């Protein structure tokens, strides 16, 4: 049985007060979740410590950062290191989100440095891959995703890879209201798993692969019903506790 995970990427939204309320609402209603589902929240950096205090000793929701530095420590003004995140404590770090790749020039090379530091700090990376619309329309999507996997995840040692969570986020579906069909999601998720199996063999069978891109309560059950879809990385809908928990309650 693979882990089922629903992670909320808050992006650059909420004040600290709003973020704390959102987490309190999630904690309040968490009892109704299907067993075996891990919930993760990924607030902005400024919110991590106050949110960690609210979560306390609870196992769920887990806490993720949305990014980290590609350097260990030192004179890198404005950056936040993986070991600082571990000291919050955070359990996870989202890496390679398409917004970071597109707006902040994050390359696979930089992401490989980041993922190694995240693993060295004992955190689990949520590594994002996905194609833009033009790449899908020109039938390049498998090629794009395979280079994102090859240049980063396939460079890891098996012990590091065992900690990885993959998120497939077709860029054309992010924040657009357009969702990949469940068939498109399954096709890509199965491709990702078999591509990873070429390097890591059977280990790829246990890798959670999440879908992201306009996932909401009305479409989550359909997408999550696919055999290679192990949950979701949720943007907009993770900002409302009811929607986020309804999505997490969508596993059959």
Q: 3-state DSSP call for residue 97?
A: coil
Question: How would you write 114-146 as a 3-class SS string?
Answer: HHHHHHHCCCEEEEEECCCHHHHHCCCHHHHHH
Closest alpha carbon to 58 in 92, 94, 86, 31: 31
Active-site option among 47, 97, 141, 189: 97
In the numeric block, which tokens belong to residue 191?
């491709």
Strands 124-129 and 209-212: unpaired
The minimum distance between CB 167 and ligand 13P, in angstroms, equals 7
Alpha-carbon span 181 to 91, nearest angstrom: 31
The minimum distance between CB 225 and ligand 13P, in angstroms, equals 18
Residue (115 or 200) nearer to ligand 13P, CB: 115
How many helices (H) and strands (E) the chain has is answered by: 11, 8
Residues 6+ apart with CB under 8 A from 122: 86
The minimum distance between CB 202 and ligand 13P, in angstroms, equals 28
Residue (29 or 240) nearer to ligand 13P, CB: 240
Q: 3-state DSSP call for residue 67?
A: coil
The minimum distance between CB 118 and ligand 13P, in angstroms, equals 17
Q: Give yes or no: 79 in active site.
A: no
Applying CB under 6 A, the residues found at the interface with ligand 13P are 9, 97, 169, 174-175, 212-215, 233-237
Residue (72 or 242) nearer to ligand 13P, CB: 242
Active-site option among 47, 131, 169, 189: 169
Residue (200 or 244) nearer to ligand 13P, CB: 244
Residue tagged 């205090």 (tokens):
53
Is residue 127 within 8 A of residue 108, CB to CB? The reply is no
How many other β-carbons are positioned within 10 Å of the β-carbon of residue 161?
20
Q: Give yes or no: 141 in active site.
A: no
The minimum distance between CB 136 and ligand 13P, in angstroms, equals 16
What's the Rg (C-alpha) of the chain? 17
Residue closest to ligand 13P, measured at CB = 235
Residue (5 or 233) nearer to ligand 13P, CB: 233
The helix (run of H) or strand (run of E) holding residue 217 is helix 217-224
Give the catalytic positions in this structure.
Answer: 97, 169
């Amino acid at each position: 049985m693979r882990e089922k995970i629903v992670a909320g990427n808050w992006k650059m939204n909420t004040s600290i007060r709003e973020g704390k309320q959102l987490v309190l609402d999630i904690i309040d209603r968490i009892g109704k979740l299907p067993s075996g589902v891990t919930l993760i929240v990924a607030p902005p950096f400024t919110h991590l410590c106050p949110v960690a205090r609210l979560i306390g000793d609870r196992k769920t929701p887990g806490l993720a950062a949305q990014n980290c530095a590609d350097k260990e420590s030192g004179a890198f003004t404005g950056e936040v290191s993986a070991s600082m995140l571990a000291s919050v404590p955070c359990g996870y770090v989202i890496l390679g989100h398409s917004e970071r790749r597109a707006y902040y020039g994050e390359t696979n090379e930089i992401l490989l440095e980041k993922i190694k530091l995240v693993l060295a700090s004992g955190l689990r990376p949520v590594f994002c891959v996905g194609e833009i619309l033009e790449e899908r329309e020109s039938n390049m999507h498998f090629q794009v995703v395979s280079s994102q996997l090859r240049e980063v995840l396939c460079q890891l040692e098996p012990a590091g890879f065992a900690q990885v969570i993959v998120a497939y986020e077709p860029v054309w579906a992010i924040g657009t209201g357009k969702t990949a069909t469940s068939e498109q999601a399954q096709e890509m998720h199965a491709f990702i798993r078999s591509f990873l199996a070429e390097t890591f063999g059977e280990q790829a069978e246990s890798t959670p692969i999440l879908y992201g891109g306009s996932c909401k309560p009305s479409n989550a059950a359909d997408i999550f019903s696919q055999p290679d879809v192990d949950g979701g990385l949720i943007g907009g809908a993770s900002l409302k506790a009811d929607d986020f928990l309804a999505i997490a309650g969508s596993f059959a």
